[in-house]
Amino acid sequence: WSCGALPEIIDQGVTGFIADTMDSAVAAVPDLLQLDRRKVRTVFEKRFSARRMAGDYLAAYAGLIGVPSTAKAS
């Protein structure tokens, strides 16, 4: 469903589908086979790899304490 963090995580039609109703969720199931798995993986690695997430956390914490971040996401 289009709530919480899903709209930030799912790129509609690229990495998945966000449904607003049960009927639209059921209708989207066959479309999952059309997703480019390599593209999905590439987007995941770019946005959600452990290295990327750790760098983002370090930058956020550095910002909270007023220290310039040297963390670089990969």
The per-residue pLDDT for 23 is 96
> Helix, strand or coil for residue 22?
helix
pTM exceeding the 0.75 threshold for the entire prediction = no
How distant is the alpha carbon of residue 40 from its chain centre? Answer: 10
The per-residue pLDDT for 71 is 63
Q: Is 49 left (phi over 0), alpha (psi -120 to 50) or beta?
A: beta
CA-CA distance, 2 to 23, in Å (whole number)? 14
Question: pLDDT (tens digit, 0 to 9) for every residue of the chain, 74 residues total?
Answer: 777 888 888 999 999 999 999 999 999 999 999 999 999 999 999 998 999 999 999 999 999 998 877 766 55
The per-residue pLDDT for 73 is 52
Answer for the pair 51, 33: CB distance below 8 angstroms, yes or no: no
